[in-house]
């Protein structure tokens, strides 16, 4: 697969993760990202996923995956079990998100969090001028069928990190096709943060 | 002979990919002065193991898989015996192109010790007395069964098994293999099983044992001259079959249907479910030894790998796990498999867990072929060949 065929967020996460590291992907779906990492970067890959169809696809790719809820699936892991814990596009569906992030920071030396930016300019436009709940490329659902229970902006997340003493190592802002540098809270569809504990 | 073989194959529903006619072989070890030390402190010998093999061992002996059978199973896991049409107990999973692909792997299945299908058990002749062991047979544990299998694996010249797989009591043997010989197992597939028998599971087993032992025909186990306690053993098996099914599968299979279409107001089996249990019980006594049932259910009840025994501490163990459970299995519920998974997480083991959505209850591990095949086939492929083989997936 040529690199432009790979999802932009996957490309960014792929570039962050070191060769041969231990990686846990929470809500790994069909395992596309983990597969690339395992094959090309020889990472030791482990996924956690709720959907049994998706699990079958992961196993077809040779991946190790747990059929589990990501909210309760981390407790047993000892500290520093992984070099990277990925929580990409799944945090917004989680109820106890703070304890999940804390758990991820406990078991992973680095935590990569990707989420859709609710303050994206088109969301604001739909709210402000049309008076409608926003539907965008990164938040494609109607109010009645969305799996999301969390709606946050880039600024919200930065504030959370500073309040919780979480150190931001890298922040990447994603537009439709490429990264965004200027005023990300307004122009980014998605954000990818690389985090570690403040005391690290 | 040839025509008979073809007819047999036609009767077999998976005739196109059966391993065909197979033969049970026997291996005897633990002779005088070399008896097998048992967990109870007793020893046993000589020991004969009945076993079958399918497919062929490769040159570097790296493609051997041990399939472990459940409580009432035997060494006959796949194919058919000469002149008979009963396929082996895991015939849907073992054969050319199947989950355990005999074109690629060498599969071994042996009857457990204390069994009654060719391996040494309470119905075997005790060399000290010249009579069947009966209640003189020593108590056996899952660990003893695995120890005996290890002798067979040594005899076959296999240093490291590619995989040990099995469901229910077979799954306990899988876990025990990793506990006893972690260096000799590259991959483990425990299905619908537990790392320790629960009080509920012990309770069902004790009820089954009491059914056998309270039958006057049991005669303290010394029934080999006059026929076995058929009534007690049949009731024991009926209890078993209730626990193998789910409420849903029983509703689908029998509902409240009546055998004769109307109530007769007597104590003969009136409902179809009663008829089914009677039929299963009656069939079972023809093929299974009551004393074996007592000893094997005891082995199940003794099974407990908690307290760090499941994955030995103090050394790096690189056995890969695939744990499978079934949503409607209430005899070995998913929560018990999840307990195994939690342990594997604590030890940072490479593992996959999948709870399959089946309505068949505990029986699912024998009947849910398709999804198990997908999981097991690819898991074995990765274990055997690494990522090289999965590149066909289309991402190059």
pLDDT digits (tens, 9 = 90+) for B33-64: 999 999 999 999 999 999 999 999 999 999 99
Return the pLDDT at B11. 40
Q: Which residue of A has its CA nearest to B321?
A: A64
CATH tag for A3-118+150-197 (out of 3.90.110.10, 3.40.50.150, 3.30.70.360, 3.30.200.20) = 3.40.50.150
Handedness of CA B67, B253, B332, B320 (dihedral sign): positive
Pinpoint the residues of chain B covered by CATH 1.10.1740.110: 197-302
| Conformational region of residue B204, where left means phi above 0, alpha means psi within -120 to 50, and beta covers everything else | alpha
B341 in reach of chain A (CB within 8 A): yes
Give whole-number Cα distances, A64 to A28, A53, B33, B258, B349, in Å: 11, 14, 46, 48, 10
Q: Which residue of A has its CA nearest to B387?
A: A39
* Selected residue of B186, B353, B381, B383 to mutate for chain A interface (largest A Cβ count, 10 A): B353
Residue A78 DSSP label: P
B37 in reach of chain A (CB within 8 A): no
- Mean pLDDT over B335-348 rounds to 95
Give whole-number Cα distances, A116 to A91, A107, A119, A140, A173, in Å: 10, 24, 9, 10, 10
pLDDT 10s digits, A37-55: 999 999 999 999 999 999 9
Can you list the residues of chain A whose pLDDT is less than 70? 1-4
- Residue B308, min C-alpha distance to chain A (Å): 14
- Residue A87, min C-alpha distance to chain B (Å): 18
Q: Please give the Cα distance from B271 to B256 (Å, whole number).
A: 6
Give whole-number Cα distances, A40 to A17, A108, B350, in Å: 11, 21, 19
Q: Please give the Cα distance from B339 to B26 (Å, whole number).
A: 37
B388: confidence class by pLDDT, cuts 50, 70, 90 = low
Return the pLDDT at B4. 34
Indicate if the pLDDT at residue B331 is higher than 50: yes
pLDDT 10s digits, B137-180: 999 999 999 999 999 999 999 999 999 999 999 999 999 999 99
Indicate if the pLDDT at residue B78 is higher than 90: yes
- Residue A18, min C-alpha distance to chain B (Å): 18
Q: Helix, strand, or coil here: B223? A: coil
In chain B, the percentage of residues whose pLDDT exceeds 70 is 93
Q: Which residues of A touch B334 (CB under 8 A)?
A: none
* Interface contacts A/B by beta carbons within 8 Å: 76
- Residue B356, min C-alpha distance to chain A (Å): 7
The per-type count for chain A, helices as H runs and strands as E runs, is 7, 7
Q: Please give the Cα distance from B363 to B336 (Å, whole number).
A: 16
Identify the active-site residue in B143, B168, B180, B358.
B168
Q: Helix, strand, or coil here: B32? A: coil
B12: confidence class by pLDDT, cuts 50, 70, 90 = very low
Among partner residues B352, B390, B391, which is closest to A64 by beta-carbon distance? Answer: B352
* Selected residue of B325, B380, B395 to mutate for chain A interface (largest A Cβ count, 10 A): B395
CATH tag for B2-196+310-393 (out of 3.30.750.24, 3.40.50.1820, 3.40.50.720, 3.90.550.50) = 3.40.50.1820
B351 has which bridge partners?
B321
Indicate if the pLDDT at residue B362 is higher than 70: yes
B240 burial (CB, 10 Å; 0-12 / 13-18 / 19+) is buried
Return the pLDDT at B359. 96
Give me the residue spans of the domains in chain A: 3-118+150-197
CATH tag for B197-302 (out of 3.30.930.10, 1.10.1740.110, 3.40.1390.10, 3.40.50.2300) = 1.10.1740.110
Pinpoint the residues of chain B covered by CATH 3.40.50.1820: 2-196+310-393
- Residue A100, min C-alpha distance to chain B (Å): 17
Listed in order, strand segments (DSSP E) in B87-143 are 94-95, 100-101, 106-110, 125-126, 131-132
Contact A162, A85 (CB under 8 A): no
- Mean pLDDT over B111-131 rounds to 97
Q: Please give the Cα distance from A29 to B83 (Å, whole number).
A: 49
Indicate if the pLDDT at residue B348 is higher than 80: yes
B266 in reach of chain A (CB within 8 A): no
Phi, psi of B45 (to 5 degrees): 180, 155
Check CB contact under 8 Å for A59 and B389: no
B395: confidence class by pLDDT, cuts 50, 70, 90 = very low
What is the residue-wise DSSP string for B228-282?
--HHHHHHHHHHHHHHHS-HHHHHHHTTT-BSSSS---SSS--BHHHHHHHHHHH
Give whole-number Cα distances, A155 to A117, A187, A188, B266, in Å: 9, 12, 11, 77
Q: Which of residues 319-338 of B touch A (CB under 8 A)?
A: 320, 322, 338
B13: confidence class by pLDDT, cuts 50, 70, 90 = very low
Strands B320-326 and B187-191: parallel
Contact B150, B175 (CB under 8 A): no
Q: Which residue of A has its CA nearest to B385?
A: A62
Check CB contact under 8 Å for B350 and A64: yes
- Mean pLDDT over B273-286 rounds to 97
Per the annotation, the verdict on B362 as an active-site residue is: yes
Q: Which residues of A touch B191 (CB under 8 A)?
A: none
Per the annotation, the verdict on B168 as an active-site residue is: yes
Check CB contact under 8 Å for B352 and A65: yes
ipTM of the complex: 0.90
Q: Which residues of B touch A67 (CB under 8 A)?
A: 353-355
What is the residue-wise DSSP string for B149-215?
HHHHHHHTT-SSBSEEEEETHHHHHHHHHHHH-GGGBSEEEEES--SB--HHHHHHHHHHHHHHHTS
Return the pLDDT at B10. 37
Contact B19, B122 (CB under 8 A): no
Among partner residues A52, A64, A66, which is closest to B357 by beta-carbon distance? Answer: A52
pLDDT 10s digits, B202-255: 999 999 999 999 999 999 999 999 999 999 999 999 999 999 999 999 999 999
Closest-CA residue to A107 (of A130, A133, A74): A74
Q: Which residue of B has its CA nearest to A2?
A: B396
User: pLDDT averaged over chain B?
Assistant: 93
Handedness of CA A92, A97, A100, A101 (dihedral sign): positive
Q: Please give the Cα distance from A138 to B242 (Å, whole number).
A: 50
B277: confidence class by pLDDT, cuts 50, 70, 90 = very high
Return the pLDDT at B83. 94
Return the pLDDT at B393. 44
Phi, psi of B189 (to 5 degrees): -125, 85
Q: Which of residues 349-368 of B touch A (CB under 8 A)?
A: 350-357
Indicate if the pLDDT at residue B200 is higher than 60: yes
Neighbours of B210 (CB within 10 A): 13
Return the pLDDT at B385. 86
Cα A118 vs. chain centroid, distance in angstroms?
Answer: 15
Q: Please give the Cα distance from B170 to B71 (Å, whole number).
A: 8
Q: Which residues of A touch B393 (CB under 8 A)?
A: 35, 60-61
């Amino acid at each position: 697969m040529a690199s432009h065929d790979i999802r932009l967020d996957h490309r960014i996460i792929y570039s962050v993760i070191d060769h041969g590291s231990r990686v846990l992907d929470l809500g790994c779906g069909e395992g596309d990202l983990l597969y690339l990492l395992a094959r090309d970067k020889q990472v030791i890959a482990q996924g956690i996923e709720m959907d049994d169809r998706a699990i079958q696809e992961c196993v077809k790719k040779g991946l190790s995956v747990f059929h589990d809820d990501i909210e309760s699936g981390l407790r047993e892991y000892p500290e520093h079990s992984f070099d990277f814990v990925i929580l990409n596009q799944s945090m917004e569906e989680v109820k106890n998100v703070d304890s999940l992030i804390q758990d991820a920071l406990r078991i992973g030396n680095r935590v990569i969090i990707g989420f859709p930016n609710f303050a994206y300019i088109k969301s604001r436009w739909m709210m402000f001028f049309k008076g409608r709940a926003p539907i965008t490329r990164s938040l494609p659902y109607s109010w009645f069928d969305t799996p999301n229970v969390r709606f946050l902006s880039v600024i919200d997340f930065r504030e959370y990190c500073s309040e919780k003493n979480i150190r931001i190592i890298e922040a990447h802002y994603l537009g439709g096709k490429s990264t965004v540098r200027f005023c990300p809270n307004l122009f980014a569809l998605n954000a990818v943060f690389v985090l570690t504990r403040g005391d690290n | 002979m040839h025509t008979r073989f073809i007819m047999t194959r036609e009767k077999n529903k998976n005739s196109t990919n059966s391993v065909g006619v197979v033969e049970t072989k026997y291996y005897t070890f633990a002779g005088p002065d070399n008896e097998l030390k048992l967990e109870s402190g007793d020893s046993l010998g000589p020991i004969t193991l009945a076993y079958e093999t399918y497919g062929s061992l490769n040159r570097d002996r790296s493609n051997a898989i041990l399939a472990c059978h459940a409580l009432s199973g035997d060494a006959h896991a796949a194919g058919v015996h000469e002149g008979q049409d009963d396929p082996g107990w895991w015939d849907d999973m073992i054969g050319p192109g199947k989950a355990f692909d005999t074109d690629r792997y060498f599969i071994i299945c042996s009857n457990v010790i204390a069994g009654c299908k060719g391996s040494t058990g309470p119905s075997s002749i005790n060399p000290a007395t010249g009579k069947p062991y009966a209640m003189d047979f020593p108590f056996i544990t899952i660990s003893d069964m695995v120890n005996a299998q290890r002798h067979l694996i040594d005899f076959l010249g296999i240093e490291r098994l590619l995989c040990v797989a099995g469901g229910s009591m077979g799954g306990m043997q899988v876990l025990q293999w990793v506990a006893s010989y972690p260096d000799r197992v590259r991959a483990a597939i425990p299905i619908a099983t537990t790392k320790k028998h629960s009080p509920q599971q012990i309770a069902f087993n004790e009820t089954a044992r009491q059914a056998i032992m309270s039958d006057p025909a049991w005669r303290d186990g010394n029934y080999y001259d006059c026929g076995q306690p058929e009534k007690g053993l049949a009731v024991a098996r009926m209890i078993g079959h209730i626990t193998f099914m789910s409420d849903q599968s029983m509703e689908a299979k029998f509902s409240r249907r009546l055998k004769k279409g109307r109530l007769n107001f007597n104590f003969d089996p009136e409902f179809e479910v009663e008829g089914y249990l009677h039929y299963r019980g009656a069939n079972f006594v023809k093929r299974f030894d009551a004393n074996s049932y007592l000893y094997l259910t005891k082995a199940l009840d003794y099974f407990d790998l908690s307290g760090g025994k499941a994955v030995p501490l103090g050394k790096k163990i690189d056995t890969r796990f695939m744990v499978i459970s079934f949503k409607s299995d209430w005899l070995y519920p998913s929560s018990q498999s999840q307990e195994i998974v939690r342990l594997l997480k604590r030890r940072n083991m490479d593992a996959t867990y999948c709870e399959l959505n089946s309505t068949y209850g505990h029986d699912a591990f024998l009947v849910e072929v398709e999804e198990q095949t997908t999981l097991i086939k690819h898991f074995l492929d990765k274990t055997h060949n690494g990522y090289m083989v999965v590149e066909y997936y289309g991402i190059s």
